[in-house]
Amino acid sequence: MGFKIGLLGLGTVGTGTAEILLSPEGRHPVVRELEIYRVGVRSLDKPRTVQLPPEILTTDLEAIVTDPNIDIVVEVLGGLEPARSLILTAIAHGKHVVTANKAVISRFGSEIFTAANEKGVYVMLEASVGGGIPVIQPLKQALGVNRIQTVIGIVNGTTNYILTRMRDEGADFGEVLADAQRLGYAEADPTADVDGLDAADKIAILASLAFGGRIKLEDVYCEGISQVGAADIAYAEKLGFVIKLLAIAKKLDVNSELLSIRVNPTLLPKTHPLASVNGVYNAILVEGEPIGQVMFYGRGAGAGPTATAVVSDILNIVSVLKVAEPEKGRAGENVDNAAPTPPLPHSPTLHSLLACSHQHYCQIAPIEELVTRFYARFLTKDFPGVIGKLGTCFGDRGVSLESVVQTGFQGELAEIVVVTHDVREGNFRLALDDIRSLEAVDSVASLLRVL
């Protein structure tokens, strides 16, 4: 066989990957040249849905990443360790790496890509964002020609599923979450999804590719969806919006190098291309000069879709290796050739559209610098005079209002919904502080940004 794969992990994505590699018929012909040479698992005894020769399974993951026969290591373990260390060891041993691990890449990408570039190997990560949706390679290849201004994604299926059901059923966050957990669409500990942390990892990766620099994960501003109430979804609907958890990376202004990167529930006009992305589907919208808007849409998770991203990364590496080292490629044509081929001497020049060569860190603006529209819902005690007081507080801080509506009552309290024009977030927050100190204001029930 041509190229030997060491697979780390045989969970959902690992199993999906093995299933593709074991059924090459009807797929790209290069899939036939790939051999699952070793599979690292936690337990040898666990029953598996995929048929693999028992002798290729091992619990010794270190042995896989140091095995001189292996060309490409596929890391689908998830989690930070031992994934990070195994990736670094694989690189140190001259192996190319394919990973689905957004958490490791968003935190240790700098360390990993520096090591990979020194060693002349590829680290590929299509599966880390958007499941099977091709977005990493298009960002590196087709879209790299553009000056990117904005990347906006619905990149977390769990929260999109919850928000879609809240909207369809008029239900509250808590009850839909409980049901989603029961159905397996949300984890027992849903924190990473519902608090936006998973989406933050992914937008950090997308921003790094789109804007050609490294991103510090702690610079990504992050709000989850637990604050979104059924009432907000209903008011948004009336105003012509849907609420989505958006991950957004954009240039603060066209000529600025300063970026704004954030994850937050956002009111999105119903006519926006992302507004009709529902359920567990993901989509990523990229805006650039001169391409305008481009959107990629598909299933953001699941064994099959994510595994296609893993295998396409392998094909990308193998195709370049065959150009650099044609002899290796030809070995693949002789399937009966059982002699182990030596590991590849790597080309001194990495393929410019596959390798990551960022050296500097992008500059990220604090959230106070963001200019955006806001939606806020207030609960107030004393309706007749309050709208005027709210208006004065906003006006004093230079916040211009698009609409102020008294929408109803919650018990003794009147509910007032405000939508602003574009405003610097810092100014808006100062106005909110003033409003919170008003005698007549009970609370700010919710606070969302508007796209």
Query: What helix, strand, coil percent values describe the chain, rounded to 5?
Result: 40, 25, 35
For residue 404, how many other CB atoms are within 10 A of its CB?
18
114 is in an annotated binding site: no
- Whether 340 and 69 have beta carbons less than 8 Å apart is answered as yes
**Is 75 marked as a binding-site residue?**
no
Q: How far apart are CA 98 and CA 427, in angstroms?
A: 44
Shortest gap between Cβ of 350 and a copy of itself (angstroms)? Answer: 7
Shortest distance, CB of residue 284 to a copy of itself, whole angstroms? Answer: 11
User: Cβ closer to a copy of itself: 190 or 332?
Assistant: 332
Q: Is 10 annotated as a binding residue?
A: yes
**Rounded to the nearest whole angstrom, what is the least distance from the CB of residue 295 to a copy of itself in the complex?**
4
Is 202 one of the annotated active-site residues of the chain? yes
Torsions phi, psi for 349 (to 5 deg): -105, 120
C-alpha 91/C-alpha 85 separation (Å) is: 10
Give min distance, CB of 23 to a copy of itself, in A: 9
Q: Is 216 helix (H, G, I), strand (E, B) or coil?
A: coil
Q: Which residues lie below 8 Å from residue 242, measured CB to CB, with a gap of 6+? A: 167, 233, 236, 267, 268, 270, 275
In this structure, what DSSP letter does residue 100 have? -
Q: Of 202, 244, 251, 322, which residue is the catalytic one? A: 202
For the CB of residue 251, give the shortest distance to a copy of itself in the complex, in Å. 10
Number of helical H runs and strand E runs in the chain: 14, 17
Q: Which ranges constitute the DSSP H helices of 276-324? A: 303-324
Query: What count of other Cβ atoms lies within 10 Å of the Cβ of residue 290?
Result: 7
Question: Residue 392, annotated ligand binder?
Answer: no
To a copy of itself, the closest distance from the beta carbon of 152 in angstroms equals 13
What are the backbone dihedrals phi and psi of residue 186, each rounded to the nearest 5 degrees, phi first?
Answer: -135, 150
For residue 54, what are its two tokens? 């028992």
* 357 vs 437 by CB, closer to a copy of itself: 357
- 78 has binding-site annotation: no
Alpha helical stretches, state H, 141-279: 157-169, 173-183, 191-194, 197-211, 230-239
308 is in an annotated binding site: no
- The closest of 350, 346, 339, 345 to 2, measured between CA atoms, is 339
Whichever of 192 and 295 has its CB closer to a copy of itself, that residue is 295
Cβ atoms of residues 13 and 127 within 8 Å: yes
Nearest 5 degrees, angle CA 237-CA 191-CA 159? 30
Is residue 361 within 8 A of residue 401, CB to CB? The reply is no
CB of 145 to a copy of itself, least distance (A): 4
* Spatial distance between the Cα atoms of 340 and 70, rounded to a whole number of angstroms: 10
Beta bridge partners of 409: 414
Whichever of 147 and 381 has its CB closer to a copy of itself, that residue is 147
The answer to whether 267 is annotated as binding is no
Q: Between 136 and 376, whose beta carbon lies closer to a copy of itself?
A: 136
Residues that bind a copy of itself (CB under 8 A): 16, 19-20, 26-31, 126, 132-134, 137-138, 141-147, 273, 276, 288-299, 302-305, 307-309, 311-312, 315-316, 318-320, 322-324, 326, 329, 347-354, 357
Residue whose CB is less far from a copy of itself, 17 or 158: 17
- Residue whose CB is less far from a copy of itself, 325 or 382: 325
Confirm whether residue 14 is marked as ligand binding. Answer: yes
Binding site residue list for NADPH: 102
- Residues taking part in catalysis: 202
Binding site members for L-homoserine = 187
Q: Annotated binding site, which residues?
A: 8-15, 102, 187
> Residue positions in the annotated binding site for NADP(+)?
8-15
